Amino acid sequence: MQYAWLIWSLLLLVVWAIVYFSLNGPDQKKEMLIVSFWTSLLGLTEPLFVSEYWNPPSLFNLAQNTGFDLESLIFSFGIGGLAVVLYDKIFSRQYQTMILAERHNSRHHFHFFILLSAPLIFLILFLSTNLNPIYSAIITLWAGGLATWYCRPDLKVKMLVSAVIFLIFYFIYFLTLIFMFPGYVEAVWNLKVISGILVLGIPLEELLFALSFGFFWSSVYEHLTWRKIKAI
């Protein structure tokens, strides 16, 4: 099981590559690359989760010795790009830039605050509560998603559908870990300090994370770049 985390992360990278090269236009590929790159930086938060939430054996034992690991960067890179393009890939959505009049709508008066709301909420929860970091992350993603919904209600359908799509994708993806490495979840996840509920062997918290991540992350690029879905 020493290399399970690495193998599983690389498998996600293979899926990422398949989706990336199947995209039709350069705009979608650019979006996937940009979001994946910035999402990979979330892997640097791994010390917040190691031992508190889980403790995976990692390459060169980095997670155990430092809290950081290379696998988290790969994993975060993969889920970031996939969460943001799966909806567009399935439903063939196209985008256009919002005009200035639309940007000046009263909902956008708090645009930059809403963009910063997610990391601020996580920081507040982490510093002021005893919640396990995974619950702080889930709450943060839902709160950030709802804040985005207020600012960009035109993206609500994409956000809701993307949440379900990413949950289904992540559920299937997680089953590959259980199939390849039986007993890995029980050995690595700190089930005693979370709900301990397993859905076909998958920790409930992982599924809640996937649902909330798909909900929020699917709107990140459009929100940052003032893009909207073209009317059909």
Summarised one tens digit per residue, pLDDT across range 43-93 is: 999 999 999 999 999 988 888 888 889 999 999 999 999 999 999 999 888
Query: Length of the chain, please?
Result: 232
Summarised one tens digit per residue, pLDDT across range 143-202 is: 999 999 998 898 999 999 999 999 999 999 999 999 999 999 999 999 999 999 999 999
Instruction: Using the predicted structure, report yes or no on whether residue 99 has a pLDDT greater than 90.
Output: no
**Crossing angle of the two packed helices 133-151 and 156-180, in degrees rounded to 10:** 150
Task: Read off the pTM.
Answer: 0.92
Q: What is the pLDDT of residue 101?
A: 57
| Cα–Cα nearest to 89, from 154, 29, 172, 9 | 29
Say what percent of the chain tops pLDDT 70: 96
Q: What is the pLDDT of residue 185?
A: 97
Instruction: Using the predicted structure, report yes or no on whether residue 95 has a pLDDT greater than 90.
Output: no
Residue 148 and residue 118: Cα distance in Å, rounded?
Answer: 10
Q: What is the pLDDT of residue 229?
A: 81
What DSSP string runs through 72-115?
Answer: HHHHHHHHHHHHHHHHHHHHT--EEEPPHHHHTSGGGGGHHHHH
Geometric angle at alpha carbon 105, from 119 and 137, rounded to 5°: 15
Q: What is the pLDDT of residue 108?
A: 67
Please compute the mean of the pLDDT values over residues 94-105 and round it to a whole number: 72
Question: Are 94 and 229 a contacting pair, CB within 8 Å?
Answer: yes
Q: How far is CA 68 from the centre of its chain?
A: 18
Summarised one tens digit per residue, pLDDT across range 177-189 is: 999 999 999 999 9
Q: What is the pLDDT of residue 104?
A: 66
Higher pLDDT, 67 or 139: 139
Q: What is the pLDDT of residue 116?
A: 84
In three-state secondary structure terms, 199 is strand
Please compute the mean of the pLDDT values over residues 13-35 and round it to a whole number: 94
Instruction: Using the predicted structure, report yes or no on whether residue 210 has a pLDDT greater than 80.
Output: yes
Say what percent of the chain tops pLDDT 90: 72
